[in-house]
Structure 1
Amino acid sequence: MSTLLEVSGVTVTFDGFRAINNLSFQIGKAEMRAVIGPNGAGKTTFMDIITGKTKPDEGRILWGDRSENLLKMTEAQIANAGVGRKFQRPTVFEAQTVTENLRMALKRPRSPFSVLRHRPDAQEKADIEALAEEIGLKDHLEKQSGYLSHGQKQWLEIGMLLAQDPQLLLVDEPAAGMTAPEREHTTDLLVRTAKTRAVVVVEHDMEFVRRLNCKVTVLHEGSVLAEGSLDHVTSNQDVIDVYLGR
Protein backbone atom coordinates (compact mmCIF):
# COMPACT_ATOMS: atom_id res chain seq x y z
CA MET A 1 0.00 0.00 0.00
CA SER A 2 1.47 3.37 -1.03
CA THR A 3 1.98 5.99 1.66
CA LEU A 4 -0.15 9.14 1.56
CA LEU A 5 1.20 10.91 4.66
CA GLU A 6 4.55 10.39 6.37
CA VAL A 7 5.42 12.20 9.61
CA SER A 8 9.08 11.79 10.62
CA GLY A 9 10.83 12.89 13.80
CA VAL A 10 8.45 15.75 14.54
CA THR A 11 8.85 17.71 17.77
CA VAL A 12 6.76 20.62 19.11
CA THR A 13 7.51 22.58 22.27
CA PHE A 14 5.18 25.09 23.97
CA ASP A 15 6.84 27.27 26.65
CA GLY A 16 9.32 24.54 27.49
CA PHE A 17 6.69 21.75 27.44
CA ARG A 18 7.32 19.13 24.75
CA ALA A 19 3.82 18.43 23.40
CA ILE A 20 5.10 16.28 20.52
CA ASN A 21 8.34 14.37 21.02
CA ASN A 22 10.13 12.88 18.00
CA LEU A 23 6.84 11.59 16.59
CA SER A 24 6.77 9.39 13.50
CA PHE A 25 3.56 8.22 11.82
CA GLN A 26 2.43 7.14 8.38
CA ILE A 27 -0.83 6.18 6.71
CA GLY A 28 -1.72 4.77 3.30
CA LYS A 29 -4.07 6.16 0.66
CA ALA A 30 -7.13 4.09 1.59
CA GLU A 31 -6.69 3.23 5.24
CA MET A 32 -8.55 3.68 8.50
CA ARG A 33 -6.49 4.51 11.61
CA ALA A 34 -7.64 5.09 15.17
CA VAL A 35 -5.49 7.29 17.42
CA ILE A 36 -5.98 6.85 21.15
CA GLY A 37 -4.20 7.96 24.31
CA PRO A 38 -4.67 9.77 27.62
CA ASN A 39 -5.47 13.48 27.87
CA GLY A 40 -2.35 15.48 27.10
CA ALA A 41 -0.89 12.72 24.91
CA GLY A 42 -0.58 15.10 21.95
CA LYS A 43 -3.54 13.95 19.86
CA THR A 44 -4.91 17.44 19.12
CA THR A 45 -1.44 18.90 18.51
CA PHE A 46 -0.77 16.01 16.12
CA MET A 47 -3.81 17.05 14.04
CA ASP A 48 -2.87 20.73 14.35
CA ILE A 49 0.54 19.96 12.80
CA ILE A 50 -0.90 18.03 9.87
CA THR A 51 -3.39 20.80 9.06
CA GLY A 52 -0.79 23.56 9.37
CA LYS A 53 -2.29 25.20 12.45
CA THR A 54 0.91 24.49 14.41
CA LYS A 55 4.43 24.45 12.96
CA PRO A 56 6.86 21.95 14.55
CA ASP A 57 10.31 22.84 15.85
CA GLU A 58 11.89 19.99 13.89
CA GLY A 59 11.04 17.00 11.73
CA ARG A 60 9.37 16.61 8.34
CA ILE A 61 5.95 15.78 6.91
CA LEU A 62 5.72 14.40 3.38
CA TRP A 63 2.43 14.34 1.48
CA GLY A 64 1.08 12.59 -1.60
CA ASP A 65 2.63 10.89 -4.63
CA ARG A 66 5.18 13.67 -5.09
CA SER A 67 6.23 13.65 -1.43
CA GLU A 68 5.52 17.36 -1.07
CA ASN A 69 6.72 19.07 2.11
CA LEU A 70 3.54 19.84 4.05
CA LEU A 71 5.48 22.13 6.41
CA LYS A 72 6.06 24.63 3.60
CA MET A 73 2.32 25.00 2.96
CA THR A 74 -0.21 27.35 4.56
CA GLU A 75 -3.37 26.01 6.20
CA ALA A 76 -5.37 26.90 3.07
CA GLN A 77 -2.85 25.19 0.77
CA ILE A 78 -2.94 22.05 2.92
CA ALA A 79 -6.76 21.99 2.77
CA ASN A 80 -6.64 22.48 -1.02
CA ALA A 81 -4.07 19.67 -1.29
CA GLY A 82 -6.67 17.28 0.17
CA VAL A 83 -6.53 17.33 3.98
CA GLY A 84 -9.93 17.71 5.68
CA ARG A 85 -10.51 18.05 9.41
CA LYS A 86 -13.64 17.56 11.48
CA PHE A 87 -13.57 18.97 15.01
CA GLN A 88 -15.42 17.37 17.93
CA ARG A 89 -18.28 19.88 17.95
CA PRO A 90 -20.18 20.03 14.64
CA THR A 91 -19.83 23.36 12.84
CA VAL A 92 -22.61 23.55 10.28
CA PHE A 93 -24.58 26.59 9.12
CA GLU A 94 -27.65 26.05 11.28
CA ALA A 95 -29.84 28.65 9.56
CA GLN A 96 -29.29 26.93 6.18
CA THR A 97 -30.84 23.71 4.92
CA VAL A 98 -28.90 20.47 4.50
CA THR A 99 -28.88 21.11 0.73
CA GLU A 100 -27.49 24.62 1.16
CA ASN A 101 -24.76 23.40 3.53
CA LEU A 102 -23.65 20.71 1.08
CA ARG A 103 -23.85 23.12 -1.88
CA MET A 104 -21.58 25.64 -0.14
CA ALA A 105 -19.05 22.89 0.55
CA LEU A 106 -18.89 21.42 -2.97
CA LYS A 107 -15.49 21.71 -4.63
CA ARG A 108 -15.76 24.29 -7.41
CA PRO A 109 -14.23 27.66 -8.48
CA ARG A 110 -14.30 30.13 -5.59
CA SER A 111 -13.72 33.50 -7.26
CA PRO A 112 -16.21 36.26 -6.29
CA PHE A 113 -17.38 36.46 -9.92
CA SER A 114 -18.08 32.71 -10.19
CA VAL A 115 -19.93 32.69 -6.85
CA LEU A 116 -22.14 35.64 -7.87
CA ARG A 117 -23.00 34.05 -11.21
CA HIS A 118 -23.44 30.54 -9.83
CA ARG A 119 -26.62 28.70 -10.77
CA PRO A 120 -27.24 25.13 -9.56
CA ASP A 121 -27.24 22.63 -12.42
CA ALA A 122 -28.34 19.00 -12.79
CA GLN A 123 -24.85 17.65 -12.00
CA GLU A 124 -24.61 19.67 -8.79
CA LYS A 125 -28.09 18.52 -7.73
CA ALA A 126 -27.09 14.90 -8.38
CA ASP A 127 -23.83 15.35 -6.44
CA ILE A 128 -25.68 16.80 -3.45
CA GLU A 129 -28.26 14.00 -3.47
CA ALA A 130 -25.51 11.37 -3.69
CA LEU A 131 -23.67 12.95 -0.76
CA ALA A 132 -26.86 13.16 1.28
CA GLU A 133 -27.56 9.50 0.60
CA GLU A 134 -24.00 8.56 1.61
CA ILE A 135 -24.26 10.34 4.97
CA GLY A 136 -27.84 9.23 5.65
CA LEU A 137 -29.61 12.57 5.24
CA LYS A 138 -31.37 12.15 1.89
CA ASP A 139 -34.78 12.50 3.57
CA HIS A 140 -33.71 15.74 5.27
CA LEU A 141 -32.36 17.79 2.35
CA GLU A 142 -34.76 20.70 2.85
CA LYS A 143 -34.62 20.66 6.66
CA GLN A 144 -32.94 23.60 8.36
CA SER A 145 -29.71 22.24 9.82
CA GLY A 146 -30.34 23.71 13.27
CA TYR A 147 -33.22 21.24 13.68
CA LEU A 148 -31.07 18.16 13.04
CA SER A 149 -30.09 15.89 15.94
CA HIS A 150 -26.52 16.04 17.27
CA GLY A 151 -25.60 12.90 15.32
CA GLN A 152 -27.16 14.20 12.10
CA LYS A 153 -25.18 17.44 12.40
CA GLN A 154 -22.01 15.35 12.73
CA TRP A 155 -22.92 13.45 9.56
CA LEU A 156 -23.68 16.68 7.73
CA GLU A 157 -20.27 18.06 8.65
CA ILE A 158 -18.62 14.85 7.42
CA GLY A 159 -20.64 15.25 4.21
CA MET A 160 -19.42 18.84 3.85
CA LEU A 161 -15.84 17.61 4.13
CA LEU A 162 -16.45 14.80 1.64
CA ALA A 163 -17.90 17.40 -0.76
CA GLN A 164 -14.40 18.89 -0.94
CA ASP A 165 -13.04 15.48 -2.03
CA PRO A 166 -10.23 15.16 0.55
CA GLN A 167 -7.60 12.44 0.35
CA LEU A 168 -7.19 12.45 4.15
CA LEU A 169 -9.95 12.99 6.69
CA LEU A 170 -9.06 13.80 10.32
CA VAL A 171 -12.03 13.18 12.63
CA ASP A 172 -12.03 14.14 16.33
CA GLU A 173 -14.17 12.02 18.70
CA PRO A 174 -17.09 11.43 16.30
CA ALA A 175 -18.98 9.15 18.71
CA ALA A 176 -19.21 11.68 21.56
CA GLY A 177 -22.79 12.48 22.56
CA MET A 178 -24.40 10.11 20.06
CA THR A 179 -27.19 7.60 20.60
CA ALA A 180 -26.43 3.93 19.95
CA PRO A 181 -28.08 3.91 16.47
CA GLU A 182 -26.23 7.13 15.56
CA ARG A 183 -22.92 5.59 16.61
CA GLU A 184 -23.64 2.53 14.48
CA HIS A 185 -24.39 4.69 11.44
CA THR A 186 -21.25 6.77 12.08
CA THR A 187 -19.13 3.62 12.20
CA ASP A 188 -20.55 2.45 8.85
CA LEU A 189 -20.03 5.89 7.29
CA LEU A 190 -16.38 6.12 8.35
CA VAL A 191 -15.61 2.53 7.31
CA ARG A 192 -17.10 3.17 3.85
CA THR A 193 -15.19 6.43 3.55
CA ALA A 194 -11.89 4.69 4.34
CA LYS A 195 -12.31 2.45 1.29
CA THR A 196 -11.50 5.37 -1.01
CA ARG A 197 -9.37 7.71 1.17
CA ALA A 198 -7.38 7.82 4.39
CA VAL A 199 -9.31 8.39 7.62
CA VAL A 200 -7.73 9.13 11.02
CA VAL A 201 -10.14 8.93 13.96
CA VAL A 202 -9.14 10.29 17.37
CA GLU A 203 -11.38 8.59 19.92
CA HIS A 204 -11.60 7.67 23.62
CA ASP A 205 -14.47 5.18 23.28
CA MET A 206 -12.83 1.74 23.04
CA GLU A 207 -16.03 0.03 21.91
CA PHE A 208 -16.35 2.48 19.02
CA VAL A 209 -12.69 1.91 18.11
CA ARG A 210 -13.28 -1.84 18.15
CA ARG A 211 -16.16 -1.46 15.70
CA LEU A 212 -13.88 0.43 13.31
CA ASN A 213 -11.77 -2.76 13.11
CA CYS A 214 -8.57 -0.96 12.09
CA LYS A 215 -4.95 -0.41 13.08
CA VAL A 216 -4.58 1.62 16.29
CA THR A 217 -1.84 4.10 17.21
CA VAL A 218 -1.43 4.90 20.92
CA LEU A 219 0.11 8.27 21.77
CA HIS A 220 1.68 9.11 25.13
CA GLU A 221 3.65 12.24 26.01
CA GLY A 222 3.81 13.20 22.33
CA SER A 223 5.27 9.92 21.06
CA VAL A 224 3.93 6.64 19.67
CA LEU A 225 3.73 4.24 22.61
CA ALA A 226 2.29 1.27 20.72
CA GLU A 227 0.77 0.41 17.35
CA GLY A 228 -1.19 -2.52 15.97
CA SER A 229 -4.62 -4.11 16.31
CA LEU A 230 -6.79 -3.02 19.23
CA ASP A 231 -6.25 -6.39 20.94
CA HIS A 232 -2.49 -6.01 20.49
CA VAL A 233 -2.23 -2.50 21.95
CA THR A 234 -4.68 -3.10 24.81
CA SER A 235 -2.62 -6.08 25.97
CA ASN A 236 0.56 -3.95 26.00
CA GLN A 237 1.55 -3.40 29.64
CA ASP A 238 2.80 0.14 28.97
CA VAL A 239 -0.56 1.08 27.43
CA ILE A 240 -2.39 -0.46 30.40
CA ASP A 241 -0.20 1.47 32.83
CA VAL A 242 -0.49 4.93 31.24
CA TYR A 243 -3.97 4.81 29.73
CA LEU A 244 -6.29 1.83 30.22
CA GLY A 245 -5.54 1.37 33.91
CA ARG A 246 -6.68 4.90 34.80
Structure 2
Amino acid sequence: MSTLLEMSGVSVSFDGFRAINNLSFQIGEPELRAIIGPNGAGKTTFMDIITGKTKPDEGRILYGDKGISLLGLSESRIAREGIGRKFQKPTVFEAQSVRENLAMALKNPRGPFDVLLYRKTRAGAARIEEIAARIGLSEALTRPAGELSHGQKQWLEIGMLLAQEPRLLLVDEPAAGMTPAEREKTTEMLVDLGRDHAVIVVEHDMEFVRRLNCKVTVLNEGSVLAEGSIDHVTGDPQVIEVYLGR
Protein backbone atom coordinates (compact mmCIF):
# COMPACT_ATOMS: atom_id res chain seq x y z
CA MET A 1 0.00 0.00 0.00
CA SER A 2 1.47 3.33 -1.04
CA THR A 3 0.81 6.67 0.66
CA LEU A 4 -1.79 8.65 -1.30
CA LEU A 5 -2.19 11.72 0.91
CA GLU A 6 0.23 13.14 3.46
CA MET A 7 -0.41 16.20 5.64
CA SER A 8 2.36 17.52 7.86
CA GLY A 9 2.44 20.41 10.31
CA VAL A 10 -0.88 21.80 9.08
CA SER A 11 -2.43 24.63 11.11
CA VAL A 12 -5.32 27.00 10.45
CA SER A 13 -6.86 29.69 12.66
CA PHE A 14 -10.19 31.49 12.43
CA ASP A 15 -10.35 34.80 14.33
CA GLY A 16 -7.53 33.69 16.62
CA PHE A 17 -9.06 30.24 17.27
CA ARG A 18 -6.82 27.37 16.16
CA ALA A 19 -9.20 24.97 14.41
CA ILE A 20 -6.34 22.76 13.19
CA ASN A 21 -3.15 22.72 15.20
CA ASN A 22 0.08 21.26 13.76
CA LEU A 23 -1.83 18.30 12.32
CA SER A 24 0.01 15.46 10.62
CA PHE A 25 -1.92 12.67 8.91
CA GLN A 26 -1.46 10.17 6.14
CA ILE A 27 -3.59 7.62 4.33
CA GLY A 28 -2.58 4.89 1.90
CA GLU A 29 -4.22 3.56 -1.23
CA PRO A 30 -6.28 1.47 -0.87
CA GLU A 31 -7.27 2.09 2.76
CA LEU A 32 -10.41 2.64 4.81
CA ARG A 33 -9.97 5.08 7.72
CA ALA A 34 -12.42 6.38 10.32
CA ILE A 35 -12.06 9.84 11.89
CA ILE A 36 -13.73 10.41 15.25
CA GLY A 37 -13.55 13.12 17.91
CA PRO A 38 -15.67 15.45 20.02
CA ASN A 39 -17.57 18.41 18.57
CA GLY A 40 -15.12 21.18 17.73
CA ALA A 41 -12.24 18.71 17.25
CA GLY A 42 -11.62 20.02 13.73
CA LYS A 43 -13.15 17.16 11.71
CA THR A 44 -15.02 19.38 9.22
CA THR A 45 -12.09 21.80 8.87
CA PHE A 46 -9.83 18.78 8.23
CA MET A 47 -12.04 17.81 5.26
CA ASP A 48 -12.31 21.45 4.11
CA ILE A 49 -8.51 21.69 3.98
CA ILE A 50 -8.08 18.48 1.94
CA THR A 51 -10.70 19.60 -0.60
CA GLY A 52 -9.33 23.14 -0.90
CA LYS A 53 -12.31 24.90 0.67
CA THR A 54 -10.07 26.21 3.48
CA LYS A 55 -6.44 27.21 2.99
CA PRO A 56 -4.13 26.38 5.91
CA ASP A 57 -1.88 29.03 7.44
CA GLU A 58 1.09 26.66 7.48
CA GLY A 59 2.12 23.09 6.74
CA ARG A 60 2.14 20.96 3.61
CA ILE A 61 -0.23 18.53 1.91
CA LEU A 62 1.17 16.15 -0.70
CA TYR A 63 -1.07 13.96 -2.84
CA GLY A 64 -0.77 11.27 -5.49
CA ASP A 65 2.07 9.28 -7.02
CA LYS A 66 4.09 12.40 -7.82
CA GLY A 67 3.43 14.04 -4.46
CA ILE A 68 1.84 17.19 -5.87
CA SER A 69 1.09 19.95 -3.37
CA LEU A 70 -2.63 20.58 -2.86
CA LEU A 71 -1.90 24.02 -1.38
CA GLY A 72 -2.91 26.74 -3.78
CA LEU A 73 -5.01 24.43 -5.97
CA SER A 74 -8.67 25.38 -6.49
CA GLU A 75 -11.49 23.16 -5.21
CA SER A 76 -12.39 22.16 -8.78
CA ARG A 77 -8.78 21.27 -9.62
CA ILE A 78 -8.49 19.15 -6.46
CA ALA A 79 -11.71 17.35 -7.46
CA ARG A 80 -10.28 16.71 -10.93
CA GLU A 81 -7.13 15.27 -9.31
CA GLY A 82 -9.37 12.56 -7.82
CA ILE A 83 -10.55 13.75 -4.40
CA GLY A 84 -14.31 13.47 -3.89
CA ARG A 85 -16.41 14.56 -0.91
CA LYS A 86 -19.80 13.37 0.22
CA PHE A 87 -21.53 15.79 2.59
CA GLN A 88 -23.87 14.70 5.38
CA LYS A 89 -27.05 15.82 3.64
CA PRO A 90 -27.53 14.07 0.29
CA THR A 91 -27.85 16.36 -2.74
CA VAL A 92 -29.28 14.45 -5.67
CA PHE A 93 -31.41 15.62 -8.60
CA GLU A 94 -34.80 14.55 -7.25
CA ALA A 95 -36.79 14.82 -10.50
CA GLN A 96 -34.24 12.80 -12.48
CA SER A 97 -33.98 9.01 -12.44
CA VAL A 98 -31.17 7.20 -10.63
CA ARG A 99 -29.68 6.40 -14.05
CA GLU A 100 -29.77 10.07 -15.11
CA ASN A 101 -28.17 11.18 -11.83
CA LEU A 102 -25.29 8.75 -12.41
CA ALA A 103 -25.00 9.73 -16.10
CA MET A 104 -24.68 13.42 -15.21
CA ALA A 105 -21.90 12.59 -12.75
CA LEU A 106 -19.82 10.43 -15.11
CA LYS A 107 -16.27 11.59 -15.64
CA ASN A 108 -16.19 12.58 -19.31
CA PRO A 109 -15.57 15.52 -21.66
CA ARG A 110 -17.54 18.46 -20.37
CA GLY A 111 -18.75 20.32 -23.48
CA PRO A 112 -22.58 20.39 -23.91
CA PHE A 113 -22.50 18.12 -26.97
CA ASP A 114 -19.98 15.78 -25.36
CA VAL A 115 -22.31 15.24 -22.40
CA LEU A 116 -25.33 14.52 -24.63
CA LEU A 117 -23.41 12.07 -26.78
CA TYR A 118 -21.51 10.37 -23.98
CA ARG A 119 -24.60 9.37 -22.04
CA LYS A 120 -25.69 7.25 -24.98
CA THR A 121 -22.43 5.36 -25.40
CA ARG A 122 -22.11 1.70 -24.52
CA ALA A 123 -19.16 2.36 -22.22
CA GLY A 124 -21.14 4.98 -20.31
CA ALA A 125 -24.13 2.67 -19.96
CA ALA A 126 -21.93 -0.21 -18.75
CA ARG A 127 -20.23 2.05 -16.19
CA ILE A 128 -23.62 3.18 -14.85
CA GLU A 129 -24.72 -0.48 -14.44
CA GLU A 130 -21.46 -1.29 -12.67
CA ILE A 131 -21.80 1.63 -10.22
CA ALA A 132 -25.49 0.87 -9.58
CA ALA A 133 -24.60 -2.73 -8.65
CA ARG A 134 -21.89 -1.51 -6.31
CA ILE A 135 -24.24 0.87 -4.44
CA GLY A 136 -27.15 -1.58 -4.37
CA LEU A 137 -29.44 0.41 -6.68
CA SER A 138 -29.55 -1.81 -9.79
CA GLU A 139 -33.27 -2.36 -9.31
CA ALA A 140 -33.92 1.38 -8.90
CA LEU A 141 -32.21 2.77 -12.04
CA THR A 142 -35.45 3.99 -13.62
CA ARG A 143 -36.94 5.44 -10.42
CA PRO A 144 -36.91 9.21 -9.77
CA ALA A 145 -34.28 9.95 -7.13
CA GLY A 146 -36.91 11.83 -5.11
CA GLU A 147 -38.73 8.55 -4.42
CA LEU A 148 -35.72 6.91 -2.80
CA SER A 149 -35.41 6.45 0.97
CA HIS A 150 -32.92 8.61 2.86
CA GLY A 151 -30.40 5.76 2.91
CA GLN A 152 -30.80 5.08 -0.81
CA LYS A 153 -30.21 8.77 -1.57
CA GLN A 154 -26.98 8.55 0.43
CA TRP A 155 -25.94 5.53 -1.66
CA LEU A 156 -26.84 7.32 -4.89
CA GLU A 157 -24.65 10.23 -3.88
CA ILE A 158 -21.78 7.84 -3.14
CA GLY A 159 -22.42 6.41 -6.64
CA MET A 160 -22.27 9.91 -8.14
CA LEU A 161 -18.90 10.37 -6.44
CA LEU A 162 -17.71 7.02 -7.84
CA ALA A 163 -18.76 8.14 -11.33
CA GLN A 164 -16.09 10.86 -11.04
CA GLU A 165 -13.48 8.08 -10.60
CA PRO A 166 -11.93 9.45 -7.41
CA ARG A 167 -8.91 7.91 -5.70
CA LEU A 168 -9.76 9.44 -2.30
CA LEU A 169 -13.34 9.67 -0.97
CA LEU A 170 -14.28 11.77 2.06
CA VAL A 171 -17.60 10.65 3.54
CA ASP A 172 -19.26 12.71 6.28
CA GLU A 173 -21.48 10.91 8.83
CA PRO A 174 -22.95 8.36 6.43
CA ALA A 175 -24.92 6.52 9.14
CA ALA A 176 -26.95 9.55 10.29
CA GLY A 177 -30.70 9.08 9.86
CA MET A 178 -30.49 5.55 8.46
CA THR A 179 -32.50 2.49 9.41
CA PRO A 180 -30.51 -0.40 10.99
CA ALA A 181 -30.70 -2.36 7.71
CA GLU A 182 -29.46 0.64 5.71
CA ARG A 183 -26.61 1.19 8.16
CA GLU A 184 -25.52 -2.42 7.80
CA LYS A 185 -25.56 -2.14 4.01
CA THR A 186 -23.65 1.17 4.19
CA THR A 187 -20.99 -0.52 6.33
CA GLU A 188 -20.58 -3.25 3.70
CA MET A 189 -20.42 -0.65 0.91
CA LEU A 190 -17.69 1.41 2.61
CA VAL A 191 -15.64 -1.69 3.45
CA ASP A 192 -15.95 -2.74 -0.21
CA LEU A 193 -14.89 0.72 -1.45
CA GLY A 194 -11.90 0.63 0.89
CA ARG A 195 -10.55 -2.36 -1.03
CA ASP A 196 -9.74 -0.27 -4.11
CA HIS A 197 -9.92 3.38 -2.95
CA ALA A 198 -8.66 5.50 -0.09
CA VAL A 199 -11.79 6.25 1.96
CA ILE A 200 -12.00 8.59 4.97
CA VAL A 201 -15.21 8.25 7.00
CA VAL A 202 -16.00 10.95 9.57
CA GLU A 203 -18.52 9.51 12.02
CA HIS A 204 -19.94 10.04 15.53
CA ASP A 205 -21.55 6.62 15.88
CA MET A 206 -19.01 4.39 17.64
CA GLU A 207 -20.91 1.19 16.90
CA PHE A 208 -20.87 2.03 13.19
CA VAL A 209 -17.12 2.76 13.37
CA ARG A 210 -16.54 -0.54 15.16
CA ARG A 211 -18.26 -2.43 12.36
CA LEU A 212 -16.04 -0.75 9.75
CA ASN A 213 -13.18 -2.65 11.41
CA CYS A 214 -10.50 -0.24 10.18
CA LYS A 215 -7.79 2.03 11.55
CA VAL A 216 -9.24 4.94 13.54
CA THR A 217 -7.79 8.45 13.94
CA VAL A 218 -9.05 10.48 16.92
CA LEU A 219 -8.94 14.26 16.52
CA ASN A 220 -9.09 16.66 19.46
CA GLU A 221 -8.50 20.43 19.41
CA GLY A 222 -7.28 20.20 15.83
CA SER A 223 -4.58 17.57 16.43
CA VAL A 224 -4.32 13.79 16.30
CA LEU A 225 -4.90 12.52 19.84
CA ALA A 226 -4.66 8.79 19.13
CA GLU A 227 -4.54 6.37 16.22
CA GLY A 228 -4.97 2.63 15.84
CA SER A 229 -7.66 -0.04 16.02
CA ILE A 230 -11.02 0.82 17.59
CA ASP A 231 -10.09 -1.20 20.69
CA HIS A 232 -6.77 0.60 20.96
CA VAL A 233 -8.24 4.10 20.76
CA THR A 234 -11.29 3.42 22.95
CA GLY A 235 -8.95 2.05 25.61
CA ASP A 236 -6.71 5.13 25.52
CA PRO A 237 -7.09 7.12 28.80
CA GLN A 238 -6.85 10.49 26.98
CA VAL A 239 -9.54 9.49 24.47
CA ILE A 240 -11.79 8.31 27.30
CA GLU A 241 -11.30 11.62 29.08
CA VAL A 242 -11.93 14.01 26.17
CA TYR A 243 -14.34 12.05 24.03
CA LEU A 244 -15.93 8.99 25.52
CA GLY A 245 -16.40 10.64 28.91
CA ARG A 246 -16.63 7.46 30.92
User: How many residues get paired?
Assistant: 246
Find the counterpart in structure 1 of residue 157 from structure 2: 157
How do residues 190-205 of structure 1 correspond to structure 2 at under 5 angstroms? 190-205=190-205
Moved >3 Å (runs of 4+) = 116-119
TM-score (norm 2): 0.98
Find the counterpart in structure 1 of residue 167 from structure 2: 167
Query: Residue 118 of structure 2 contacts residue 124 of structure 2 at CA under 8 Å; is this kept in 1?
Result: no
Q: Secondary structure at the match of 2:71?
A: helix
Kindly provide the amino acid, as one letter, of the partner of residue 163 in structure 2.
A
Q: Does 1:219 align with 2:201?
A: no
How far off is 1:123 after superposition? 1.8
Query: Residue 119 of structure 2 contacts residue 125 of structure 2 at CA under 8 Å; is this kept in 1?
Result: no
Q: Does 1:185 align with 2:223?
A: no
Q: Secondary structure at the match of 2:47?
A: helix
Find the counterpart in structure 2 of residue 48 from structure 1: 48
- Quick one: structure 1 residues 143 and 21, their matched pair in 2 at CA, closer, same or farther if it must change by over 3 Å? same
Find the counterpart in structure 2 of residue 78 from structure 1: 78
Q: Deviations over 1:201-228 (max 9, x none)?
A: 0000011001100000000000000000
TM-score (norm 1): 0.98
Distance 1:155 1:242 in 2: 32
How do residues 95-244 of structure 1 correspond to structure 2 at under 5 angstroms? 95-118=95-118, 120-244=120-244
How far off is 1:11 after superposition? 0.3
In angstroms, what is the RMSD of aligned CA positions? 1.0
Q: State the identity %.
A: 72
How far off is 1:118 after superposition? 4.4
- Quick one: structure 1 residues 155 and 116, their matched pair in 2 at CA, closer, same or farther if it must change by over 3 Å? closer
How far off is 1:112 after superposition? 3.0
Distance 2:118 2:126 in 1: 16
Unaligned runs of 5+ in 2: none
Find the counterpart in structure 1 of residue 93 from structure 2: 93
How far off is 1:111 after superposition? 1.8
Find the counterpart in structure 2 of residue 39 from structure 1: 39
Kindly provide the amino acid, as one letter, of the partner of residue 223 in structure 1.
S
How far off is 1:72 after superposition? 2.4
Find the counterpart in structure 1 of residue 69 from structure 2: 69
Distance 1:235 1:118 in 2: 52
Unaligned runs of 5+ in 1: none
Q: Secondary structure at the match of 1:201?
A: strand
